Structure 1
């Protein structure tokens, strides 16, 4: 499948039909992996596609729409949310879906199709971001203000995709161009270099993006969106001071964000707790519900191939009975012989209007980031104050910060418990937390008993290694 020169020439002078070019162009990406694609000279296409502020903005909107469809980000079977929860201890499979079972057993084969979808769809998003950045660079008809803003949005999304690639796969190639010849032979970059690249992109984005959302829709990147991800990055890099500085600014921005008292309102579209969301509308004009609601809410007894997962007993046992999250964010289906529990953060499983957006970044995480950063700086009372914000919202008793015998370790343990309860089934938080804290290999964690260091990274898909002789498989595969 290729875009013909005739098609390109027929569209060159029709600015308003730019979207046809970009959609067809991206369809070619979806029909083959990003490293295989030889596209026409983007400098030529960009003169038409990026001929005005309006057409350039449509290209940027195309990236956000793709996030709603891409396997790694769409909340469906091959998404970070589903697969990483299986790798951790929050989900169990309820069907004989062997691709999922491999994630649950931490025994993923390099030819696992879901793993390939995860990898290739993340790189497809990166490819699109690079295409937009190149188009903005070569364009002559875009205002300076729009060029700067759109570049910031593309860099944020690119950093977001790389954050998950480096955390799931370790060393990965840094793709900076749409040139298939260069992309096809890239070596892996070190984890340190990938994180450096992510930080540079996020710093650039936070510098040029404004604080406000367009039309009140929290589905495009803002300065605060970039800062929220950057706070997480610094937490993962154990730069406690920077993590606290960034999370603090978000928390102090009370005119933009607040912890909602009613848990049933948190995941609504444009909720005041949301820092960034993905709209299901990006999947198409008739998409009204999130994929998380579609595949998580059990309305028929397992096994059901369309409802492949349920919450684990180990996860359920982590809750206190009085915890409101146990009641409002967890549903159950009774078959008569067995009770299955499922995530019920997203509640709308059928609708003719969009009521919920997929949550990606929210304020509760920032409180937990700041709590952990403060605890590691031995400011335990301040850390407990942040932790209690989350506990009190869940109607749990506050932890006393006046006890002189309280230790850093006990505070950090409490933070990890609340992270698990608060952020379950949201973008793989539990799996990434288990890995970064060293808990994944602990005998006290209910993972596959045979897990070892090599299982902490997913394998590079076989198909990618076959195509690129310079890609080296992760250890143990």
Structure 2
């Protein structure tokens, strides 16, 4: 895996057109952009974002453990080091995607193509750059903010603060939402490319993470108020199918099956799942919760049932049945619920929680004050988004402790689960040693050597 410096210096891979050729006509420009989408969701753990983040964060948090693959123990035990291949692979993959996004933005600025096309394509590239930086800054903390392909200005770039990176994320998403299409028509009705609503949905999440409650509520409401385009699917079995109404943005699988299903769902030849749901998560499902029925599978071995994540089920030979849900509607309701709770709008916050609970076959929440509502929201997010783009891991890191607000929920929850294997500095992954070796201005994250 290439370090950040190496990645930026080597330029485009040999199988990609040089930027001065790519952006002369819409066919090659479109190919470059589609390649960027594919790179974000390319089905290969260690060299993609979605599968790697889902797996690694699930083990780092309290969701799953690898049953018989000890090479993942460093995630489960929170004992990562800067030399581990998987940490390097995730870092390099995200920066590779950022490099491609930067190339598209720069190429479109000089392209002779129509203004409308250049604006939309630039908006898509900025959206994907923002998505990449969102995960990069949440996995690694302060990171170099690279928004240029000029190696001379970036090869020795030090870390930028988390706030500086987030400011750029907000700017990219704000720029994108003003130029992206507001319908799915241009994409043939499919939810596989960025729209205004995808930008607003991700902005809602960013505002929530940054404590901008009014803006988070406003963005989530804007998306929710489009039932003709997006609405929560009544059938839990259809939530992860291609082009269902739940999806605000979906990524097409790069092969004819779901790579997440290939990792989580055991084949007939496996006696146990590769990844087993942690006991605490399994016990957290309330009696009668349909999500446990529809989204959890079981493999029996040695007289025991081993539960595994089964949101994605199609492992091979089914074509485009399932798409990877990058942004979906239930998150917008829970974002708005949390934002409303923080603004003391408790009744409407409870109503948003109930929108999610109702689909799961559960009664309305009895939470009525801030503490109870925040606990209820954390619970719903844990169950609704388990093993899905690392949502639980990110929540544990961003939420304050219940018993000690000066600590994070990660300290409370993961110390109880993992004991001495957990240290507060484990909330961030280490910067790969190869990146530090290449860039003397890049400092290691606290807690790692």
Same fold (TM over 0.5): yes
SS at match of 1:134: helix
1:137-286 aligned at under 5 Å gives the runs 137-140=109-112, 142-213=113-184, 214-280=187-253, 283=254
Whether the 8 Å CA contact 1:72–1:119 is kept in 2: the answer is no
1:432 is matched with which residue? Answer: 394
| Cα separation, 1, equivalents of 2:82 and 2:191 | 37
SS in 2 for 1:454: helix
d(CA) in 2 for partners of 1:398 and 1:278? 33
- Secondary structure in 2 aligned to 1:364? helix
SS state of the match for residue 204, structure 2? helix
User: Which residue does the alignment assign to 2:53?
Assistant: 80
Structure 1's 444 and 38: CA in aligned 2 closer, same or farther, altered over 3 A? closer
The number of residues matched between the two structures is: 432
Map 1:14-163 onto structure 2 (within 5 A). Answer: 33-37=6-10, 45-69=18-42, 71=46, 73=48, 75-76=50-51, 79-98=52-71, 100-140=72-112, 142-163=113-134
Q: Is contact 2:256–2:318 with CA below 8 Å preserved after alignment?
A: yes
- Give the 3-state SS of the residue equivalent to 2:188 in structure 1: helix
Whole-angstrom CA distance in 2 between matches of 1:443 and 1:118: 25
CA gap of 1:352–1:324, structure 2 versus 1, over 3 A, is closer
Uncovered stretches (5+) of structure 2, i.e. residues with no partner: 400-407
Residue 299 of structure 1 and its aligned partner are, at CA, apart by 2.8
Q: How far does the alpha carbon of each residue in 1:125-176 deviate from its partner, in whole angstroms, 9 at most, with x for none?
A: 0000011111112222x00000000000000000000000111111000111
Tell me the distance in 1 between the aligned counterparts of 2:48 and 2:12: 25
Alignment correspondent of 1:441: 411
Which of 288, 291, 300 is the aligned partner of 1:334?
Answer: 300
Residue 322 of structure 1 pairs with residue 288 of structure 2? yes
Alignment of 1:396-415 (within 5 A): 396-400=362-366, 406-415=368-377
Match of 1:294 in 2: 262
Instruction: Tell which structure's C-alpha radius of gyration is larger.
Output: 1
**CA positional deviation for 1:474:** 0.2
State the partner residue of 1:6. Answer: none
The SS at the match of 1:395 is: coil
For 1:297 and 1:183, locate their aligned partners in 2 and report how far apart those are by CA, in whole Å: 41
Q: Determine helix, strand or coil for the equivalent of 1:442.
A: helix
C-alpha distance in 1 between matches for 2:243 and 2:12: 37
Against the structure 1 CA distance between its residues 237 and 74, is the aligned structure 2 distance closer, same or farther, given a 3 Å change threshold? Answer: closer
C-alpha deviation, 1:263, in angstroms: 0.2
Give secondary structure in 2 for the equivalent of 1:124: helix
3-state SS of the aligned residue for 2:69? coil
* 1:415-462: CA deviation from partner (whole Å, max 9, x where unpaired): 000000001111000000000002101158654223222111100001
Matched-pair contact (CA < 8 Å) for 1:46–1:139:
no
Contact 2:5–2:155, Cα closer than 8 Å, also in 1: no
Contact persistence 1:375–1:383 (CA under 8 A):
yes
- Counterpart of 2:404 in structure 1 is none
- What SS does the aligned partner of 1:310 have? strand
Q: CA deviation at 1:264?
A: 0.3
- Post-superposition shift, 1:300? 4.6
SS at match of 2:297: strand
2:277 is matched with 311
Structure 1 Cα separation of the partners of residues 41 and 194 of structure 2: 15
Distance, in Å, in 1 between the alignment partners of 2:134 and 2:271 is 34
Say if 1:301 and 1:47 are closer, same or farther in 2 by CA, change over 3 A: closer
Q: Report if the CA contact (8 A) 1:301-1:335 is conserved.
A: no
Go from structure 1 to structure 2 and tell me whether the alpha carbon gap of 1:295 and 1:240 turns closer, same or farther (over 3 Å shift).
same
Q: Give the Cα–Cα distance (whole angstroms) in 1 for the partners of residues 431 and 2 of structure 2.
A: 19
CA-CA distance at 1:183 after TM superposition: 2.5
Q: Give the secondary structure class of the aligned counterpart of 2:377.
A: helix
Match of 2:311?
A: 345
Matched with 1:420 is 382
DSSP-derived class of the 1:216 partner: coil
Question: Separation in 2 of the partners of 1:38 and 1:45?
Answer: 9
The 1:392/1:39 distance shift into structure 2, 3 A limit, reads: closer
